Structure formats: C-alpha cells, structure tokens
Chain A
C-alpha cells in the first residue's frame, strides 16, 4: 500500500552516514539503520534513555492474562479472542523533574452550627423553651501554599493523542530505563517515532501544565480563588524512547482494543466485551436489587408506623431498612447499567 512521497526529507545520520527518511517536523531523529539519535542539526542527544521492550509473544501473554483477569463469567474470552494488530512502536517522550511552588489566597463558605432557643407549645397547650441547632453561613479565609516536585512526561509529538496515552505515560518508571541501545531492540522491529517537540519547547509547555494544575488544585474546595502565583523550576530534562503497542482484537466478530506497555508487556487500558450471558446475569442482579430495595422500604415503613415491632426493635429495623434500600438501589442501577453498556473499560 502506498507510494513513496516524492519530497520526503532526508537526514544524513552523523554516525553511520545512512540516509534516514524523516517527517518534515522532526527535530530529534533516530537513525533507522544504526539507531543513533541526534537532533536535526546533527548533534547527539546526551543522556538519552529508553525502556527495553518485550517481544510480541510476551505482549500476547500479558494481554491474555489481562483478559483472564477481567473475563468474569465469560470463560471463552481468552480462547475466543483473535488478535488482528499487535505492533511495537517506540514513542518519543520528554521527561523532567518539575519543582513548583504556588502561593494562593481565597475563601470558602462553611456552615457553622449555632445553638438557638425557641418557645414551643405542646399538645396540652403549655409552652416551654427548647434548644435546637441551626446552621449559619461562615466565611473562612484561606491562605496557603502548594509545593510539589513531580516527574512530568509529555509525548513529543504535536497535537497527537492515542488510546491509553495518559495511563501509559503514568506507568513509565524512570528507574527502569537504560541508556539507549538500538541493538537491544532491533530484533523486535519497532517503528521508531521521531520527536516533533524539542527540549526548550517541552520545558515551556510543562511549565504551563503544572501551573494550571496547581491553580485548579488551589481552586477546588474554595468558593473563590483571589490569587494564585506559581513559580516552576524544570530540571533534569531527559529524552526517553518508550515502547508502546496497541492490540486490536476481535471477539465474536466485534472489534476491541487494548493499550500495552511494551516494557512489561502488561495492559494499561483495555476494552472488555460483555456477552449476552453476562448481560442477563447483571439484569437479574438488577431485578433482585428492586426486590431488596422494596423489602427495605417495607421494613422502614413498618418500623416508622409501629406495625409489628418488638420493643426497641424499631431503631434496628429502620437502620436495616435504609441499608436495604440503598443496597437495592445500587444493585438495580449497577445491574441495568451493564445491560445497556457497549463494553467495559478496564485498567491493567
């Protein structure tokens, strides 16, 4: 499929002199022959890391154990699935330590319990005073600081997104990375993606991201955020090539997908089919839920109206009744939700 583009850029690898076909926006390039990685100006990238990858069989194993863990009562899932795509891609990632300090100021409203007294007239016509608790609004000034020092990662591709990306970036463990060595991964025939975002650009982008995160963290729980100032300090920026694989599989003729961490072969995020049998089971659960909730309602009303209660039994009965109502309603909606769901999404 596909013809060669006539005007593709060529990049001469400074190490092996090979001609590497590159995308127009690539700024960090891995040579497809010797694997050495350099910037578009031909400067070698220092301290450049990668994660090793496992081969297709091991990825399949990880995928099968994911299915096995999530199969539920669908016993035929592992045998019945048919993988149609399982290709290893090395994606370019920038990582850095970001130390961020925010100072913020705002206020929140709270409910203050206030004891009050009032005069009431009882059924005999006598009046007496009683105390009760009322809630009044209080304004609580908040002045605080947020200090974080986190590992931040960014996919070094412009405007790009793929299934499971956020979860995948989370799983990258810098302690497990090794110095980049193309020979170690060559036999897996990975597709190496070049970076379109350079180091300076990454550091700018990551400042904005951390600052925005601090702002939303400061603002959560506040009625109004007056001020929020963040300073960031980015250090230890490293270019990292990380293995990823998207598995697409068919089950009973329908198409599903799963995102695989190529380093461990484990699934980070995947779709799981729901079979007819499972839908029926969940629906039954929902119907049982309706009955449980109804029973709870009976208990509750029964206790409240003083029908067939033993002495002191009614508190117990009310609590049981309410519990049954809540459990029943959760079961009902949980059960019927599965009935109308397309598929389940599970984290690995």
Chain B
C-alpha cells in the first residue's frame, strides 16, 4: 500500500515498485512522494473491439487456423496494460589504448602471387576513439514477456501521461520497478558495454580507456498493450496486441483438427512411401520379401525427399506455435 503524495489516496503497489503512478490522480511519483516530470504515454488508437477484430482477422490467416474462428471464438479476458519503459539517450566517446593483432607473412606461394605459406601474428599497440550516440530502452518491470519487451514503441506522437486517458479503457498502469537513477545507471552500463564491444573490434586487449559517457535526457513512457485471451473449442489462447498501432505483438492460435489430421496423415504416408523407396533402392527388401533391388538412383533421391517432407508435415501438424507480426 502506498499513499499518494498529491491526492492522499491509498493505492496498491507490488513488491519492488519504486516509481508509482497513482491510479486516482495519475501523478507519477517516487516512493518518497517526489513528483516525476518526464512521464509520457502513447495514445490508444485501437479500443477493445477494434483490437479484438484486428487480432482475429490477423490470426485467421495463419496456417491451419479453423475457418470459423471469427464467429466461434469468445474473448474471456481483455485487459489493457500500460507497460513502463525508460528511454535514455546516451552520448558516448571512448578513447582507447590497447594491443591489437597484426601479422607478418612469409614464403610466397609461387602458384599464387600474393598468398603466403606462413602467417605470423604479433601484437602491436593501437589507439583510437569511438564516438557514438546510443538510444537505450529499458523495460521498467521485470516480469515482462520478451516480445512485449522488444516490440517497437510506435511512431505516433507521445504525449504527457494522462491518467484520464488510461482510465477510459480501464487500463492497468504498471508501476516501474526502477527509479530514474537506476534507469540512468543501467543505461550508462549498457552504453559502456556497447562501446567496449566497438573497441574490442579494433583491439583484443584494452590497456587503458577513457570514457566520456553522458546519459542525457531520460524519460518514462507508458505504452498501452491489450492482453487478450480467447476461447476456441475447449482451449484458451493468449495474445498481446499493441493498443496504439494494432500490431499483433504475439498470439497463440488454434489449429483445426482437419489440418492436424491432414498434416500428420499425409506426412505419415509420405514418410512410409519414402522409407519404402529407400529400402527398395538399397536392397533391404531383397532379404525380407525377395524383391530385387531396383530404382537405385531414383529411389534414394525421391525416397529421401519424401521422407524429409513427410517429417516436416508431421511436425507442422503436431506443433502449436505462437505467431508474431513482423514490423
């Protein structure tokens, strides 16, 4: 439980929540009650109905999805979750000194000018500098789905966080597990690591380096995502849809019985046919049933192809996968 420093209301917080958003007045604040200014959001452009229609229309084109999905599926859960992300811009400049690899070449091949028989590596001191600007995006909550974590924050304009807007769709605004200082520290660390990777492309051993890492503007942005669950037949399927762009971040989906049966059945037939052809070609059948080896070339190749495709179809028929929309 926390008490809002601005409207005095009590509200729920989870363990680890350090940057809180009051569900009554919408003020972002630290646990000590300091107001946090740089708090933004992306506006919702797809309401619940639109998000659900978009999801079903999109999912229904996936492989083997039953044709009556649009009419027969029922949404059992729909919640708009506002995920917090920290976005920092980091200017980094690294001067480095270190040892880089180089090589001498000996004994030219007479058969090929310019190529040598022996290579001798040696270390030589190198120095240089890398200047980069990094944009670093850190999820503000720990238990976040990897796909939601990496979905692109939409191109739509961001705005100051409006609690009224989130409330319009009964959105649940997640508190951030991270304070601004922690986010900046992490951004600093990530930028430092990226610079290290750049330097390590030039030198193998870093002797000394001077980093000027300047974590600039850092802000908190809440991004709305519809977390949906629908029932088709006896099973439930989960999906996440971006509430601002309508992109399907990820979705589980049903496969029709006829698709599964077809995939496994046809796959099995192909696998058997393939195996039969291979046995025929290699002459195994000669010992068993007395058929002489025949179709030696064609049997092996066609049989092999049939067997591979058969296995693939069986796998497709039996597997269930999540689908993601490419952006």
Q: Chain A: residues with CB nearer than 8 A to chain B? A: 1-9, 22-26, 91, 105, 107, 110, 112-114, 136, 138-141, 155, 157-163, 193-194, 201, 204-205, 207-208, 215, 224-229, 248, 250, 253-256, 273, 286, 289-291, 293-302, 305, 321, 325, 328-329, 332, 336, 340-343
Contacting pair A110 B112 (CB below 8 A): yes
Contacting pair B137 A159 (CB below 8 A): yes
Residues of A within 8 A of B159 (CB): 5, 8, 23-24
Q: Tell me the total A-B contact number using a CB cutoff of 8 A.
A: 201
Specify the main secondary structure of chain A where it touches its partner: mixed
If the complex has contacts A3-B165, A5-B165, are A194 and B157 also in contact, measured as CB distance less than 8 A? yes
In angstroms, Cα B58 to Cα A294, docked, is 39
Contacting pair A3 B133 (CB below 8 A): no
Contacting pair B301 A250 (CB below 8 A): no
CB distance from B130 to the nearest CB of A (A): 8
Which of A7, A224, A250, A298 is B162 in contact with, Cβ under 8 Å?
A: A7
Q: Chain B: residues with CB nearer than 8 A to chain A? A: 38, 40-41, 43-45, 47, 54, 57-58, 60-63, 70, 87, 89, 91, 100-103, 105, 109, 111-112, 114-119, 126, 128, 131-133, 135, 137, 152-155, 157-162, 164-165, 168, 201-202, 219, 246, 295-302, 305-306, 309, 312, 316, 323, 326-327
If the complex has contacts A293-B301, A300-B297, are A226 and B61 also in contact, measured as CB distance less than 8 A? no
In angstroms, Cα B155 to Cα A3, docked, is 20
Residues of B within 8 A of A328 (CB): 301, 305
In angstroms, Cα B301 to Cα A1, docked, is 61
Contacting pair B155 A193 (CB below 8 A): yes
Residues of B within 8 A of A256 (CB): 61
Contacting pair A23 B157 (CB below 8 A): yes
Residues of B within 8 A of A112 (CB): 109, 111-112, 115
Minimum CB distance partner of B57 in chain A: A255
Minimum CB distance partner of A208 in chain B: B132
If the complex has contacts A8-B160, A159-B137, A290-B306, are A91 and B155 also in contact, measured as CB distance less than 8 A? yes
Contacting pair A160 B111 (CB below 8 A): no
If the complex has contacts A162-B327, A226-B100, are A297 and B316 also in contact, measured as CB distance less than 8 A? no
In angstroms, Cα B199 to Cα A215, docked, is 12
CB distance from A139 to the nearest CB of B (A): 4
Minimum CB distance partner of B295 in chain A: A298
In angstroms, Cα B44 to Cα A291, docked, is 54
Contacting pair A107 B103 (CB below 8 A): yes
18 contacts between A and B (CB under 8 A): A5-B165, A23-B158, A24-B158, A26-B157, A114-B111, A159-B135, A159-B153, A160-B155, A162-B155, A226-B100, A227-B102, A248-B246, A253-B57, A256-B61, A294-B297, A329-B305, A341-B63, A343-B61
Contacting pair B43 A107 (CB below 8 A): no
CB distance from B301 to the nearest CB of A (A): 4
Residues of B within 8 A of A343 (CB): 61
Contacting pair B116 A158 (CB below 8 A): no
Minimum CB distance partner of A297 in chain B: B297
Minimum CB distance partner of B303 in chain A: A294
In angstroms, Cα B118 to Cα A172, docked, is 49
CB distance from B50 to the nearest CB of A (A): 9
If the complex has contacts A113-B111, A141-B116, are A295 and B298 also in contact, measured as CB distance less than 8 A? yes
